[in-house]
Structures are given as C-alpha cells and as structure tokens.
C-alpha cells in the first residue's frame, strides 16, 4: 500500500504534463495557421490592387482577389457616375438654355411664384376706342393714355398682376423691371406732299412715350420714364415708322398701377409684336 501512493502521484503528474504539452502545441499550431492565412489574404488583396490590369482578373467568386476587385470597380463606377452626372447635367442645361431658353426659364421659375405681366396691342379694341371720343389721360398726365391692351390672348399673359382699364395693377411689393414699346406708323397727309413747304412742322412732329405710376397715397400720377424723338418724314413714302422703347427698375407696392401714354395714340400700330407693355418682379 505504501508503494502504490507514490506511483499514482507520478502518473497524475505525467498526465498533467502531457496534457499541458498537447494544449500548448495545439495553440501554437492554430496561431501559426491563423497568421499564415492572414498573411496570404493580405498578400492576395494587395496583389489585386497593384495589378496592372484589373479587368484581366477572372478568379471565381470565392477568391478574395475577385471580391476586392469587384468592390473597387463598384466604388470607381459610382464615383465617376456621380461626377459625370453633375457635369453632364450642367452642360445639358447650358445647351438647352441656349437653344430653348423658355424651357429653362419655366424650370427655374417653377420653384417660386410667378409675378409678371406682358400685355400687347389689340386692333379690335383700338377700333372701338377710335369710334368714340379721343382718349386722354387728364391734365395731370402728358399725352394720350393707351387703354386697349390685350392681356390673355396671343403673346400676352398675366401672372399675379391684373389689367384694369389699360393699367397694370401689382399685388406684391418688390423691385420690378418695367418696360414699354410703342410702334408709330405715321401716315402722310396731302398737305405734307405740297411743293410750297406747308406742313413742314408736321413732318418734324415729335413722338413721345411716357410710363406713369399711380399710387393710392398720392393723387397725381408719377412719371417713371419718358422717351422722345423728332423724326423728319420722307415726302416720297406713304407712311413713316418709328419704334419707342424704354425700360427700368422701380420699387412698387401692392395696389400700384402702371400705364402708358403717347403723344398721338391714333398713330400707334397695335400689332402684338410691335406695341407691348409689361413688368415682372425681380426681388
């Protein structure tokens, strides 16, 4: 009995030592294998990135090199796509604005409310006005007021601006660009064709165009713009032509009215391409 105890102790000690050695060898082998796998994977990934031609790689889907190249291709394509999309979008808009500016204007204006008006001449209303008494803007205003503007048909339009008795009425405050053009067609009379020189003052008759603003706080209309010219009509022609155009920036308040007067309203050619009047909000 006394010899059996030491033998069991030795056997237990040997077993523990053997188990320790086996565990140590297993851990070392696993660590070595793991490091080897990491190094192999790293070398393969780097070799994929350092290859001269990424398109020539034909490895399978399970190969790390294939995965790296596919992710790299996707990243490059996404980056280039976003870059060229911005450049092409800008180039296309520039080209469209050059060829079809109205489309780009509508696209830009769609994000904000439209405040603009463009009224044109109307032959029908002018005939009706000429059958009655001559139109006058009153003693406080120079010239004859043009009241026969067209606001809906043809080239004319009204956006958040009203047309009342030939006057544009704005509803929003701000800085407006106001413009007007009248096309004069002067018909020569028999006196102007005389050889004695009578009617020379008619051949040099001045043509004036005025743009006025009416405000509720002031009873007298305010003159905003004026253009004038004295033209000498040719005796050899049946009529003479002259176009008066002017435009400028002016602050307007809600309820302000704009209208146009001329020296001789009956001589104005009321074609929609020749005589027009308008305003639009800048800021």
Distance CA 191, CA 197 (A): 9
Distance CA 222, CA 210 (A): 10
Does residue 4 come out as left (phi exceeding 0), alpha (psi in the -120 to 50 range) or beta?
A: alpha
CB 44 within 8 A of CB 64: yes
Q: Which two tokens stand for residue 128?
A: 């009706």
CB atoms within 10 A of CB 61: 7
The verdict on whether residue 48 carries a ligand-binding annotation is no
DSSP label of 185: E
Give the DSSP letter string of 230-282: E----TTSSEEEEEEEEEEEEEE-TT-EEEEEES-GGGB---TTTSEEEEEE-
Describe the chain by its helix, strand, coil percentages, rounded to 5.
40, 30, 30
Q: Which residues are annotated as a binding site for Zn(2+)?
A: 232
Q: Which residues are annotated as a binding site?
A: 232
């Amino acid at each position: 009995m006394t010899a059996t105890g030491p033998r069991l102790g030795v056997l237990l000690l040997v077993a523990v030592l053997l188990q320790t050695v086996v565990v140590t060898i297993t851990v070392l082998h696993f660590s070595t294998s793991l490091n080897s796998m990491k190094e192999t994977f790293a070398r393969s990934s780097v070799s994929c990135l350092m290859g001269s031609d990424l398109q020539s790689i034909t490895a399978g889907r399970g190969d790390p090199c294939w995965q790296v190249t596919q992710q790299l291709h996707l990243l490059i394509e996404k980056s280039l796509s976003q870059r060229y999309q911005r450049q092409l979008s800008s180039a296309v808009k520039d080209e469209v604005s050059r060829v079809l500016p109205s489309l780009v204007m509508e696209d830009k204006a769609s994000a904000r409310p439209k405040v603009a008006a463009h009224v044109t001449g109307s032959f029908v209303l002018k005939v009706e006005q000429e059958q009655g008494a001559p139109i006058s803007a009153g003693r406080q205003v120079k010239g004859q007021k043009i009241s026969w503007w067209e606001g809906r048909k043809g080239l004319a339009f009204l956006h958040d601006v009203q047309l009342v008795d030939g006057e544009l009425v704005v509803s929003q405050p701000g800085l407006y660009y106001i413009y007007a053009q009248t096309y004069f067609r002067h018909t020569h009379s028999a006196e102007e064709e005389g050889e004695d020189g009578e009617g020379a003052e008619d051949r040099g008759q001045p043509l004036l165009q005025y743009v006025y603003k009416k405000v509720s706080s002031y009873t007298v209309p305010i003159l905003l713009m004026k253009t004038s010219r004295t033209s000498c009509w040719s005796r050899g022609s049946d009529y003479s032509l002259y176009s008066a155009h002017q435009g400028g920036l002016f602050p307007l308040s809600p309820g302000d009215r704009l209208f146009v007067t001329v020296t001789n309203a009956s001589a104005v050619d009321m074609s929609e391409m020749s005589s027009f009047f308008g305003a639009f909000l800048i800021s």
